């Protein structure tokens, strides 16, 4: 019973907290503006030879045809679920809001996926052209900033949707957010599965699935984690619990912008992965520092100071600042650990990759065995890291189930501070892969240009593996928190 003791508490968002919510909305709008600016930069680059343009146009046509057909089919499902949500019992204002924001969540998820694909299939030929001119730094910049557009759309729309619900519905925000999260999740599921099926049709399908499906998938993880944190935050921290989970990803947007613009290939870098790692760890470190400052500035140091929480929460003796900051730091550290672990198992030149390559000397069977065994080994370590993060954050809640589950949700929001850069890394992979395909089919990129694209393709395989691991970790944290939220 203790876990649900705060469910009847009256919570509102007023005064300074409402002002902070509007500031968070402003940060989300800034992210969308940055996305537009990066998009313009990418499209301003050269498209290469006539052969390269012709191949790129074929890719664009196929990708657009697939997504247009998919969205047409999904619109029927969205309409049906909208009606079902509206038919649920409850307050009329909440029912209307939940149903409308279900459509908003689905629309945002579709928008992120579609725009990620639209720009990616136009950036690939520009990356190939930069490589043809022998400029590895420019090729890396185009590919990563294309990913930056998708990253900014993901975090910008996700935070905008959550913040606008809090501003409009205040104490009823958690109920309305259920619709927003569900809409994002449903579209992401169909796009992820559909992209995987289309993968079997042709190589362009593989790139499409990675660009559209993964972007929507990460948007869904972002939205659902925010929903879980806000639902539990209302019970755990009262009014502050509806604002603090918005502050953390807002800081993540700021540091993601820094990370995207920091990603530049230096002459001393062994590969593009060095530049990407540098920007990721820098943005993660800045996030940790800024979240620490925000936590000690915004939150009180005792539970009795919170408005709208139950007596059971008020009687807790711990420090809310320690719980909140500790949980967020766990999420940031988890993201960095998965980055390092996945990089070790997938980067060219590392021992696992070299061992698998060496096994090819004795035939295909040993390559398969070596590859599968390395894959299983990496999965075990990743699972242990995620389990440790969930367990560690849960312990921070002390004896309260609500506080423990909120701590798990906050660990998820901590991981979200890296999502802007993570999505950029994820999109980098299929763009590099597709650029190499265009170069090979056109026959116009040779010598140094071909070497550049081969290197970027290898790095892209690593970044895709990293982002899948972090997407899974985010989903686990969100699912664990949501399990208790309802």
3-class secondary structure per residue, the chain? CHHHCCCCCCCCCCHHHHHHHHHHHHHHHHHHHHHHHHHHHHHCCCCCCHHHHHHHHHHHHHHHHHHHHHHHHHHHHHHHHHHHHHHCCCCHHHHHHHHHHHHHHHHHHHHHHHHHHHHHHHHHHHHHHHHHCCCHHHHHHHHHHHHHHHHHHHHHHHHHHHHHHHHHHHHHHHHHHHHHHHHHHHHHHHHHHHHHHHHCCCHHHHHHHHHHHHHHHHHHHHHHHHHHHHHHHHHHHHHHHHCHHHHHHHHHHHHHHHHHHHCCCCCCCCCHHHHHHHHHHHHHHHHHHHHHHHHHHHCCCCHHHCCCCCHHHHCCCCCHHHHHHHHHHHHHHHHHHHHHHHHHHHCCCCHHHHHHHHHHHHCHHHHHHHHHHHHHHHHHHHHHHHHHHHHHHHHCCCCCHHHHHHHHHHHHHHHHCCHHHHHHHHHHHHHHHHHHHHHHHHCCCCCHHHHHHHHHHHHHHHHHHHHHHHHHHHHHHHHHHHHHHC
Nearest to 225 by CA among 257, 169, 283, 184: 184
Q: Output the pLDDT for position 209.
A: 46
Token digits of residue 316: 């807790």
The C-alpha R_g of the chain, in whole angstroms, comes to: 23
List of residues 6+ apart from 257 with CB closer than 8 A: 30, 31, 34, 152, 420
Q: Are 252 and 287 in contact (CB under 8 A)?
A: yes
List of residues 6+ apart from 448 with CB closer than 8 A: 134
91: left (phi over 0), alpha (psi -120 to 50) or beta: beta
CA–CA dist 391, 265 (Å, integer) = 38
CA–CA dist 437, 147 (Å, integer) = 18
Question: What number of residues does the chain have?
Answer: 486
Which value, to the nearest 10 degrees, does the dihedral of the CA atoms of residues 464, 470, 475, 477 take?
A: 180
From residue 473, give the alpha-carbon distance in Å to each of 122, 157, 466: 31, 21, 11
CA–CA dist 96, 101 (Å, integer) = 8
Where do we find the tokens 């599965």? 193
Token digits of residue 20: 């902070």
Which value, to the nearest 10 degrees, does the dihedral of the CA atoms of residues 403, 473, 272, 215 take?
A: -100
Q: How many other CB atoms are found less than 10 A from the CB of residue 284?
A: 22
From residue 299, give the alpha-carbon distance in Å to each of 65, 257, 309, 311, 318: 50, 26, 14, 18, 13
Q: Output the pLDDT for position 250.
A: 94
Mean pLDDT by 10 residues, the chain (486 residues): 42 76 93 94 88 84 80 85 84 88 90 86 89 88 91 91 88 83 80 58 48 65 84 87 92 93 85 88 94 93 83 86 95 92 83 86 86 87 92 89 91 89 86 85 82 85 82 82 70
Q: Are 397 and 237 in contact (CB under 8 A)?
A: no
List of residues 6+ apart from 118 with CB closer than 8 A: 63, 64
Q: Output the pLDDT for position 4.
A: 40
Q: Output the pLDDT for position 213.
A: 52
Token digits of residue 213: 């499906």
Vertex 349 angle, CA 345 and 353, to 5°: 40
């Amino acid at each position: 019973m203790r876990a649900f003791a705060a469910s009847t508490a009256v919570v509102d968002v007023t005064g300074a907290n409402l002002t902070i919510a509007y500031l968070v909305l402003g940060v989300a709008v800034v992210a969308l503006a940055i996305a537009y600016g990066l998009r313009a930069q990418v499209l301003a680059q050269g498209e290469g030879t006539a052969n390269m343009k012709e191949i790129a146009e074929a890719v664009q046509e196929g990708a657009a045809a697939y997504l247009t057909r998919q969205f047409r089919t999904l619109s029927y499902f969205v309409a049906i679920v909208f009606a079902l949500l509206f038919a649920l019992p409850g307050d009329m204002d909440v029912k209307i809001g939940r149903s409308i924001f279900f459509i908003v969540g689905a629309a945002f998820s579709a928008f992120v996926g579609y725009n990620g694909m639209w720009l990616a299939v136009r950036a690939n030929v520009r990356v190939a052209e930069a490589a043809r001119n022998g400029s590895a730094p420019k090729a890396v910049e185009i590919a990563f900033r294309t990913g930056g557009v998708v990253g900014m759309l993901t975090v910008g729309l996700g935070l905008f949707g959550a913040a606008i619900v809090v501003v409009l519905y205040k104490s009823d925000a958690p109920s309305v957010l259920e619709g927003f999260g569900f809409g994002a999740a449903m579209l992401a599921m169909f796009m992820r599965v559909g992209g995987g099926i289309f993968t079997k049709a042709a190589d362009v399908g593989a790139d499409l699935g990675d660009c559209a499906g993964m972007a929507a998938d990460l948007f869904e993880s972002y939205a659902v984690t925010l929903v879980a944190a806000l639902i539990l935050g209302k019970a755990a921290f009262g009014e502050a619990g509806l604002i603090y989970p918005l502050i953390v990803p807002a800081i993540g947007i700021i540091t993601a912008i820094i990370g995207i613009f920091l990603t530049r290939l230096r002459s001393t870098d062994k590969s593009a992965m060095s530049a990407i790692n540098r920007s990721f760890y820098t943005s993660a470190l800045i996030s940790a520092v800024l979240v620490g400052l925000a936590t000690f500035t915004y939150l009180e140091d005792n539970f009795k100071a919170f408005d709208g929480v139950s007596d059971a929460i008020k009687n807790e003796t711990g420090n809310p600042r320690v719980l909140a900051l500790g949980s967020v730091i766990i999420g940031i550290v988890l993201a960095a650990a998965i980055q390092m672990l996945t990089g070790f198992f997938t980067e060219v030149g590392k021992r696992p990759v070299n061992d698998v390559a060496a096994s090819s000397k004795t035939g295909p069977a040993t390559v398969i065995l070596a590859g599968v065994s390395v894959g299983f080994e990496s999965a075990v370590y990743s699972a242990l890291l995620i389990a440790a993060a969930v367990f560690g954050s849960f312990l921070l809640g002390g004896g309260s189930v609500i506080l423990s589950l909120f701590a798990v949700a906050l660990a998820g929001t901590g991981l979200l501070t890296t999502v802007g850069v993570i999505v950029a890394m994820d999109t980098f992979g299929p763009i590099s892969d597709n650029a190499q395909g265009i170069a090979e089919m056109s026959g116009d990129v040779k010598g140094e240009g071909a070497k550049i694209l081969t290197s970027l393709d290898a790095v892209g395989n690593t970044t895709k593996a990293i982002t899948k691991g972090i997407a899974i970790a985010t989903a686990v944290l969100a699912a664990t928190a949501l399990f208790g939220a309802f």
